[in-house]
Amino acid sequence: MSFRALLFLSAWMFATGIFGVLSRRHVVALLLSIELLFNGVNLALLTFAWAYGALSAASLAFLGIAVTVAEVAVGLAIFLLVVRLTGKAAADELKQLAG
Amino acid sequence: MKAFYLVLFAPFVSFALLALWPGLRRSGKPAAWTSIAAVAVSLLSAIALFFQYDGGVHEVRWVWIPLAHFPSLTVGFLVDGLSVVMALVVALVAFAVQVYSLGYMSEEPPASLGRYYTYHSLFTFSMLGLVFANNLLEAYIFWELVGACSYLLIGFWFYKPSAARAALKAFWTTRLGDVGFALGIAVLFAHFGFLSYDKLFALEPSHALFLGLLGVYVGAMGKSAQFPLHIWLPDAMEGPTPVSALIHAATMVAAGVFLMVRLMPALQHTPELLHLVLWIGAITAFLAATMALVERDIKRVLAFSTISQLGYMMAAVGALSAGAAFFHLFTHAFFKALLFLAAGSVIHAMHTNDMFAMGGLARPMRWTMILFLVGALALAGMPPLSGYFSKDEILVATAHAPVPFALLMITVFLTAFYMFRAFFLTFTGEPRNPESHPHESPVVMLWPMGVLAILAAVAGFFGSTVHEMLNHSLGFESLHSGEEHHPAWIPYLGLGLGLLGILVAWMGYARRIFRPERVYAAFYPLAKVLEERYFIDHIFLLLYWLGYNTVATVVGFVDRYIVDGVVNFVTWATFEVGKALRRFHNGVVQDILLGVVVGFLILAFFATGF
Amino acid sequence: MQTASLLPVWLVLATLGLTFLVDLSGRPRTALRVAALGGLVALLSLIWTPDGAFLGLSVDAYVRFAQAVLLGAAVLALLASPPYMRHFRMERLAGDYALLLLFTLLGGMLLMSVRDWLALFVAFELLSIPLYAAAALNKRSPEGAEGALKFFLFGSVSSAFLLLGVGMMTLVSGSTAFSSVVVREAFLPAGLALLLVGFGFKVAMFPFYFWAPDVYESAPTPLVAFLSVAPKAAGILILFRILQEVVLPAGLSSALAWVAFASALTMVVGNLLALPQTHLKRLLAYSGVAHIGYVLAALAAGTAEGAGMSLFYFTVYLFSNMGAFLGVAAVEMMGLSPTLEGVAGLYRRSPALAMSFLAFLLSLGGIPFVLGFWSKLFVFFAAAQAGLWVLVFLGALLAVVALFYYLNVARWMLIVEEMQEEPAGPPPAAVVALVVMAAFVVVVGGLVPQVLVQPALLAAGG
Amino acid sequence: MNLLSVFLLSPFIGAVLLFFIPRGSRTLIRLVALLSALPPLALSVYLPFVYDTARGGFQFLGEIPLLPELGIAYLVGVDGISIALLFLTAVIYLTAIFTSWRIQTRDKEFFIYLALLVTGVFGVFVSLDLFLFFLFYELAVLPMYLLIGIWGSTKEIPGRGVFGWTYEALKVGTKEYGAMKLTLYLLVGSAFILAGIFYLAVHGGSFSYLALQQSLDLPPDVARVLFLVFYVGFGVLAGIWPFHTWSPDGHAAAPAAGSMMHAGVLMKLGAYGVLRVGFGLLPEAGAALAWLVGTIAVINILYGAFGAGWQDDIKYLIAYSSVSHMGVVMLGMATLTEPGVAGSVYQMVSHGIMTGLLFTIVNLVYHKTHVREISRMGGLAHFQPVLATAFVVAGMTSLGLPGLSGFVAEFLVFLGAFTSQHPWWAVPAIVGALLTSIYVLRAARNIFFGPAPVHAVEDAQGSEVVSIVCLVATLVLLGVVPRFLLDSLQPTVVEFLKLFGG
C-alpha cells in the first residue's frame, strides 16, 4: 500500500472513531470508538515513521497502544460503576449533571 | 467712626447667642429681650454715628477670597452719608418693630418666640450689612441673606400651608431677579476685574457697564417688587404683621431702591437703563395702586401700596434724582411701618385680615385709629406730613417725562382713595361682625407706633438733612444735581388729587353717597382683572409648571426609564446570554464532546493559515 | 549527580511506595497522612534541588517553581482529605485516593521538567488517567460516577488528538527532543493545533472545558480543589515552555495570535457562564475557565515576563481557588448544600469561614490589596506590554462581570440573613484552619506581593 | 514615617483594633472608631496653616519604594487641593461615626468597613504614585458594597417604558441592586483608569505623578484619547452624565453613613481624579477637550436639577441634587480659570459637607418615620425642629446662600465660567442655583411644613445632633472664612494653571 493510501486509511479510522464517539449510545460502543480513534492515530504515526524513517514516531505509537490499554481499563471500571449505581448504559441517559 | 461696628455687630451678637444657645432661644421672653437689647444698642450707636458723622467717606476692607489673576475679592464697610442715614432708619424701625412684636406675638409659645427673634436679629444684621457694604459682591451676600430671612419670617407660621407657599413664592421670585444680579456682577467682574463701589464709580460709560448695571437692576426689581416681579409681595403678607412692617415695607423691599441710589454715580452713565427704570417704576406704581382698589385684605392693601410707593422711588431713580428717591425711602419707611403696625394692631384685635369683616373700630381702638390715620395721611401726601414732601419731590423730578409723570399723578389719586377706603372700612361705620369684641392693643404695641407716627409726621422736615447727607456719599460729588426748572403747579395738583381721592373714598365708604358695590358690578370685567392681579401670577404659575415641572417630569422619566433603562437592559441581556450559553450544557456527554471537535476544527482552520 | 535535580520526584516516588505499604497494612487514613508528609518533604527538598538534565528531563528554576505549586496543591488537598473522607465515610478508599493523587502529582512534576516529546506524552497521561479513577472515588454517588465517565471520555478523546500532535511535533524536528530545528515545517501548525486540543482539555480552555463543571460538581471536593489548580498549572506552564522553546523559535509567530484568540473566547464564555450559576462548585468551575482565559493572555504575550507572571498567577490561584474549594468542602461537611441558598447566612454560622471566603472571592475577582489583584494585574500588564490592548480591555470589562458573581456569593454569605437549612453541623475545625491559613496568605500576601512576584520573575528568567 | 501617614494609619489601625474588640462592647467599638477619626481631623485642620504657600508644589513628601522594578512606590505629598479634600474627608468621617452611633445590627463590622473605606479615601488624596492612587481608589469602592448591602434600605421601583420588563427581573431599587450597580459601575470606571495609568506608566517610565509631570510627552492625538479615558473612568465616579445612574440608586439604598461617605466623599474622588490625573498630566489634551467637559457639566447641572424635581422619594431627590452639584464641580475645572478651578475644589468640599448633612437628615427622617415618599410626609417640623432647621440650612447651602459654603464655591465657579472662553456656561450655572432653590425648598415645605402629622415622631437625638451641628458649623465656617482653605488652595490653583499657560 502506498503512503497516501495508508494515510487515508488512518484518517478514515480516525473519522469513524470520532463519528462513533459522537453518535453511539451505548458506553461500551463509545469505548470501542475511542479505541478506533487511537488506532487511527497509531496507524498515522507508523505511516509517518515508515515514510520519513522517523523512529520517534514509531516508538510513540507503541506508547500510544500502552496508554490506550490503560485508559480503556480505567474507562471500563468507571462504566461498571456507572451501571451499578444508575443502571443505565446509554450515554445520553446520563444527564444528571448539566448547566 | 468706630461706632458703626456696634451698629452692625450688636444684632449679630444677639443672633449668634440665640442660635448657639438653645436654652436661651427656647426661653421666649429672655430671648426677645436679648434681641431687643441688641437692636437698642444698634440704634443708639446709629444715632451716635449720625451725630458724629464728619461728612467724609470712611472705608475698611479685607481680602475675603484671594485671587492672583484677578484682583482679590474683598469685604469691607463703607461709612458715608447714605449708609449712616440708612442705618439709622433700619435700626430705628427694627427697634420699634421688635418692641411691638413683644405684644403682637405674646400668644406664641416660648420656643417659637425665640425663633422669631433669632430670625429678626439675623435680619437686622444682614440689612445693616447691606447698608454698610462697600462692594457689589458684599451687597449681593447680604442681599441674599435678607432674602433668606424674609423667607424664614414669611414662613414663620410654617404650619399654615398658605404661609409656607408664600415663603417659597417670595424666595423664588426674588431669586429670579438675583439671577440677573449675579450675571451683572459677573459681567462687571469679567470686564473690569473689580466690584468695589469706589472703582466702579470711576468708570467711563461702556457697554459692559450698561449690561452689568442692567443685571443689578433686575436684582433690584425682584427685591423691590417692580413689575413684573412684584407678585410675591402681596402673598408675603402671610407672615406675622410686624415682619411685614419691617421687612416688606420699610427695609428689605427698599433695599433695591437703596442699591440703585448707592450705584447712582455709575448709573448716571447709562441713560438708557435709567429710562427703563423710570418707566418700570411708573408702571409699577400705577398697576399696584389699581390692584389695591379691589383688595379686601387690609395687609394686602398695604402691600400693594408698598409696591406702588417702591415704583415711585424707582421712578425717581430713573429720573436721575437719587435724592428724591432716597428721601421717599426715608419717609416711607416710617409711615408704612406705622401703617403696618397699626393694621397689625387691628388684626391682633379682630383675628382677621378682611376689612369687610371689620368696621366701627374707631371707638374701641381710638389710639390705633389715630395712628393709622397719621400714616394714611402721610401716605396720601397730605401736608405737613412727611409723605407730602417726598412724593412732591419725586413728582417734580419726573415731570420731564410726560407719560410716567401722568401715571404717577393718577397714582396719587388712587393712593389716597384706597388708603382711605381701607381707613373708612376699618374704623368707621357699624361693626360688621357682631361676635368680635375688639379692644385696644397693649401699651407695648402702642408706643412703638407712637414713635413711628411722630417720625412719619415730621420726617418731611428733614429733607434738607437727608439731601445734605446724601451729598456726602461715595461718588455723589460727581453727580450733577438735577435742579431744573419745574412747573410750580405740580405740588398743588398732587395735593388736589390726593384730597380728591380721600373725598371719593369718604363718599363711597363712609357716607355711602354712592355704592361701591354697584361700581364694582358695573365694571365687573375690569374689577375681575384687578382682583386677579392682571393674571400676572398665573403667567408665572404657568411658567413654573411648564418651565420646571413639565421638564422635570420628562427628564425624570427619561432618566429613570430610558437612560437607566438601557443600563438595565444591558445587564439583563448579559444574564440572558449567560443563561442561553447554559443550554449547550445539556448534560449529554456526546453533545458536549462535540465541543472538542468544533475546537479542533477551529484550530485546524487556523493551522491551514486562514 | 544529574539525578539530584529530580530529588523531589524521587521523594514523591518514595512516598508512593511508603503510602502503598501503609495502605496495604490496613491503615488508609495513615496512608493519607504519610502522603501529605511526603509531599511536604518533597516541597521542602526543592530548596536544595540543583539544576540538571536527565533522560529528556531537565530542571531549572522555572520548573522548580512550577513543581512547588503542584506540590503545594497536593499537600493542601491531602491535608484537607482525612476529615472530609471520614465525614463522608470514604475512609476505606483513603489509601487508593492518596495513591491516585500521588501518581497524578508525579505526572504533573514530570510534565514540568520534560524536554522530550515522548516523555511529555507519558507524563501527560500519568497526570490524566489516575484522575479519572479518583473522580469516581465516592462509590455511593451516581453523580460522581457519571462525572468520572464524562471526564474519562473527554480525556481519552483529547489524548488521541494529543498523541497525533506529539507525533507531528517529533516529525517537525526529526527528533523526540524539544528543539527549534525545523526539518518538516508543514507539520508545525497542524502539530500545534493538535497539541492545543490536548492541552485545551487539560487546562479547560474554550471549547474543551465542557467536562469541568460536571466533574467539579460531582467529585470529592478536596480532589476538585487539587484538580482545579494542579493540572491547569502544569498544562499552561509546559505550554509556555513549548511555545518559547519550540514553536516561536521555529518561526510560527502566528501561534501567539491563536492563543490570544483562545484567551478572549475563554474569558468571555467562562465569565458569562459563571453568571447564572447557583451551585458553588459549578460557579467556581466556570470562573476557573475564565481564569484560564486570563492566563492565556499572558501566554499570548509570549515573553519571559509573561511566563513569570503566569507562575505568579498560579501561585496566587493555588491559594485563592483551592482556598475557595476547601471552603466549599467545609460547607459540605457542615451539612449544608454548596449552593447559594445553602450558604445563606454563613457569616452567622462561622464568621471565620465566611470572611475567608470573602478574601478568596475578592482575590479571584482581582480586587486590590488581596493577592488576586496583583496576579491579574501582572498578567494584564504583561499582555499590555506585548501590545494586546484588546485583551486587556476585554479582561477589564469581564472582570466586572466576574465581580458580579463573586460579590453575589459574598452577598449570600455575608448579607443575606435568612438561613435555609437550620440544623447545620459545626464547622470542621481542621479544614477551616486550612482555609483560614490560605486566606491569611491571600490577604497578607496582597500587602507584600513582591515576596512572591520577584522569585517568580527570577525563575522565569525575566 | 511621614506626617501624612497619619491619615492612612489612623483609620486603618482603628479598623484592625475594631477587629479584635468583642462584638458586645458597643461603647468601646464606637470610642475606638471615634478615636481613629480624630487624628486625621486634627491634622487636616493643621495642614492649611503649615502648608508653605511661598514654596508651593507638593509638600510633606514621603517615599518608600514598594516594587522598584515596576517603578511603584509609596509616594505621598499634598498641595492645597488635596489639603482641602483631606479636610472634607476627615469631617465627614467624624460626623458619619456620630450619625451611625445608634446603629443596631452588626455594628462592629459597620465601623470596620467605614474605617477601611476612609483609609482608601485618604489614600487617594495623599498619593502621588498613580499606582498607589489606584489601589486606594479601589479600596475606597469596595467596603461601600457591604455598607449598602448589609445596612441599606430597599424600595423596589416598578418598571415602565420600553425597558420596563427588565426592572422586575433585576429588582431595581433594592439595596442589592443599588450596591451591585454602584460597585460594578465604579469598577468599570476603574478599568478605564487602570488602562490609562498603565499606558502612562509604560510611556512615561514611572508611576510617579511628579516624574510623569516632567517626563510625559505624548503625541496630541494619543493624549486626547487618554484624557477621555481618564475623564470617563473617573467621571463615572463623579457622576457625569450619562454615567450617573448608579448614583441615585446607590445613594437611595445606602445607610446614612454610606450615603454621606459616598455622595460626600467618594464622588469627589472622581472629580479629583479628573482634575489631578486628567488635567494635571495631560494639560494640552485637557485644554483641547475642556469644551466637552464643560458642556457635559452643564448638562449635569440642568439634568440633575430637573431630575430632582420629579422625584417623590426623598433620597432620590438628594441624590439627583448631587448629580447637579457635581456638574458645578466639573464645570469649574473645565473653565481652566483661577476662580473656576478654585471654586471647583471648593465646591467639592462644600458639596461634600452639605450633601453629608442632607443625607444625614434624610436618613434620620426615614428612620423615624419609615417613609421615603415626600408626598406622604408633611408638617414634620412640629416634631423635628432640629432636622427641619438643618434641612433648611443644608438646602440654603445647596442653592448658594451667602454665609454658607455653597455660595463661595458656586460664585467662584460662576465667575470662572464667565471669565473663561465659554462665558455662556455661566448662565446654566446660575440657573442651576435657581432650579435648586425650587426643588430643595419645595421639598423642605412638603416634608417639614404644613399641619402637624397625626403621629408624633422623634427628633434627632444625642449623637445625631452632634453630627448635624458639626456639619452645619463646618458649612458656616467655610462660608464665612473661605480663606481657611483658600489661602493654601489658591496658590496651588495658580500653579496648576501654569500648566495651561495661565
Cα D56 to chain centroid, rounded: 25
Min Cα separation C27/chain A (Å) = 24
Residue of chain D nearest C450, judged by CA positions: D67
Report chain D's terminal Cα–Cα distance, integer Å.
Answer: 36
D252 CB near a chain B CB, below 8 Å?
no
Closest to C100 in 3D by CA, of C136, C51, C66, C65: C136
Amino acid at C113: S
Give the confidence band of D496 by pLDDT, cuts at 50, 70, 90. Answer: very high
Average pLDDT, chain C: 89
Render pLDDT for C15-34 as a digit per residue (tens, 0 to 9).
Answer: 999 999 998 988 888 898 99
Give the confidence band of C197 by pLDDT, cuts at 50, 70, 90. Answer: very high
- Sequence-separated (6 or more) residues with CB below 8 Å from residue C91: C28, C29, C85
Q: Which grid cell is D34?
A: 471615634
**In D, which residues are within 8 Å of B563 by CB distance?**
242, 245
Residue D287 has pLDDT above 70, yes or no: yes
Q: Which grid cell is C137?
A: 472515588
What is the number of CB-based contacts under 8 A between chain A and chain C?
A: 133
Query: Residue B74 and residue B68: Cα distance in Å, rounded?
Result: 13
DSSP C88: T
Amino acid at C400: V
Give the confidence band of C37 by pLDDT, cuts at 50, 70, 90. Answer: very high
Render pLDDT for D177-202 as a digit per residue (tens, 0 to 9).
Answer: 999 999 888 888 887 888 888 888 88
Supply the pLDDT for residue D502: 62
Element (H or E) spanning D186, and its range? helix D175-204
Min Cα separation A15/chain B (Å) = 11
Ramachandran quadrant class, D51 (left: phi over 0; alpha: psi -120 to 50; beta: rest): beta
At which residue does the C-alpha cell 427656647 appear? B26
B601 CB near a chain C CB, below 8 Å?
no
Report chain B's terminal Cα–Cα distance, integer Å.
Answer: 94
D183 CB near a chain C CB, below 8 Å?
yes
D166 CB near a chain B CB, below 8 Å?
yes
- Sequence-separated (6 or more) residues with CB below 8 Å from residue B570: none
Residue of chain D nearest B156, judged by CA positions: D449
Residue C247 has pLDDT above 90, yes or no: no
D431 CB near a chain C CB, below 8 Å?
no
Supply the pLDDT for residue C387: 86
CB nearest B596 (choices: C208, C258, C269): C208
Supply the pLDDT for residue D57: 87
Residue C404 has pLDDT above 70, yes or no: yes
Closest to C161 in 3D by CA, of C132, C203, C130, C190: C190
Q: Which grid cell is B556?
A: 425624570
Q: Are C359 and C277 in contact (CB under 8 A)?
A: no
Cα B98 to chain centroid, rounded: 19
Min Cα separation B171/chain D (Å) = 8
Q: For D381-416, what is the HEC assignment?
A: HHCCHHHHHHHHHHHHHHCCCCCCHHHHHHHHHHHH
Supply the pLDDT for residue D327: 94
CB contact under 8 A, D188 and C407: no
CB burial readout D408-423, b (16+ within 10 A) else e: bbbbbbbbbbbbbebe
Amino acid at D462: G
Interface of B with A in 580-599 (CB under 8 A): 582, 585-590, 593-594, 597
CB nearest D188 (choices: C368, C400, C453): C400
Residues of C with CB under 8 A from a CB of A: 117-118, 121-122, 125, 129, 132-133, 136, 139-143, 145-150, 152-153, 155-157, 159-160, 163-164, 166-168, 170-171, 174-176, 184, 213-214, 217-218, 277, 282
Query: Residue D456 and residue D448: Cα distance in Å, rounded?
Result: 13
- Sequence-separated (6 or more) residues with CB below 8 Å from residue B351: B436
Supply the pLDDT for residue C178: 86
D399 CB near a chain C CB, below 8 Å?
no
The sign of the CA dihedral C426, C431, C437, C438 is negative
CB burial readout C114-147, b (16+ within 10 A) else e: bbbbbbbbbbbbbbbbbbbbbbbbbeebbbbbbb
CB nearest C197 (choices: B574, B599, B608): B599
How far, in Å, are A57, C26, C30, C81 from residue C36 at the CA level?
Answer: 38, 18, 10, 10
Residue D259 has pLDDT above 70, yes or no: yes
Supply the pLDDT for residue D35: 94
CB nearest C156 (choices: A45, A71, A96): A71
Report the neighbours of C using a cutoff of 3 or more CB pairs below 8 angstroms: A, B, D
Q: Are C443 and C323 in contact (CB under 8 A)?
A: no
Q: Which grid cell is C42?
A: 518533597
Write down the number of H helices and E strands in chain D. 21, 2
Q: Which of C162, C187, C197, C258 has the most B C-beta neighbours within 10 Å, making it the best mutation to test the interface with B?
A: C197
CB contact under 8 A, D195 and C397: no
Residue C456 has pLDDT above 90, yes or no: no
Q: Are D364 and B116 in contact (CB under 8 A)?
A: no
Min Cα separation B154/chain D (Å) = 12
Residue ranges in chain A modelled with pLDDT below 70: 1
CB contact under 8 A, C207 and B596: yes
CB nearest B186 (choices: D381, D396, D426): D426
Q: Which grid cell is D305?
A: 436639577
What is the number of CB-based contacts under 8 A between chain A and chain B?
A: 29
Which residues sit opposite D76 in a β-bridge?
D62, D127
C197 CB near a chain B CB, below 8 Å?
yes
CB nearest C154 (choices: B575, B596, B609): B596
Residue C422 has pLDDT above 80, yes or no: no
Average pLDDT, chain D: 90
**A and D: touch, per 3+ CB pairs < 8 A?**
no
Q: How many CA atoms lie within 13 A of C138 on its CB side?
A: 24
DSSP C89: T
CB contact under 8 A, A23 and B590: yes
Supply the pLDDT for residue B132: 93
CB nearest B593 (choices: A21, A98, A99): A21
DSSP B296-365: -BHHHHHHHHHHHHHHHHHHHHHTT-HHHHHHHHHHHHHHHHHHHHHHHHHHHHHS--BGGG---TTTTT
A92 CB near a chain B CB, below 8 Å?
yes
Query: Tell me, what's the ipTM?
Result: 0.88
Query: Residue C153 and residue C21: Cα distance in Å, rounded?
Result: 32
CB nearest B600 (choices: C197, C211, C272): C197
At which residue does the C-alpha cell 448716571 appear? B268
* Domain coordinates in residue numbering, chain D: 5-498
Supply the pLDDT for residue C255: 87
Render pLDDT for D432-456 as a digit per residue (tens, 0 to 9).
Answer: 999 999 999 999 999 999 888 888 8
**D and C: touch, per 3+ CB pairs < 8 A?**
yes
The 10 Å Cβ neighbour count of residue B566 is 15
Range B402-409 contact pairs with CB under 8 angstroms and sequence separation of 24 or more: B403/B279, B403/B282, B404/B278, B404/B279, B404/B281, B404/B282, B404/B283, B404/B315, B404/B318, B405/B282, B407/B282, B407/B283, B407/B285, B407/B286, B408/B282, B408/B285, B408/B286, B408/B312, B408/B315, B409/B493, B409/B494, B409/B497
- Sequence-separated (6 or more) residues with CB below 8 Å from residue B434: none
Amino acid at C259: V
Element (H or E) spanning C134, and its range? helix C117-135
Cα D52 to chain centroid, rounded: 26
Residue of chain C nearest B581, judged by CA positions: C273
Closest to D483 in 3D by CA, of B593, C142, B66: B66
Collapsing DSSP states into helix, strand and coil, what is residue B610? coil
Supply the pLDDT for residue D213: 87
Give the confidence band of C447 by pLDDT, cuts at 50, 70, 90. Answer: confident
Supply the pLDDT for residue A40: 93
Cα D203 to chain centroid, rounded: 31
Cα B437 to chain centroid, rounded: 34
Residue ranges in chain B modelled with pLDDT below 50: none
Supply the pLDDT for residue B482: 55
The 10 Å Cβ neighbour count of residue D473 is 13
Min Cα separation C184/chain A (Å) = 10
Q: Which of B146, B561, B574, B576 has the most D C-beta neighbours within 10 Å, making it the best mutation to test the interface with D?
A: B561
Q: For chain D, percent helix, then strand, then coil, each to nearest 5? A: 75, 5, 20
Which residues sit opposite B65 in a β-bridge?
B73
Query: Residue C69 and residue C103: Cα distance in Å, rounded?
Result: 16
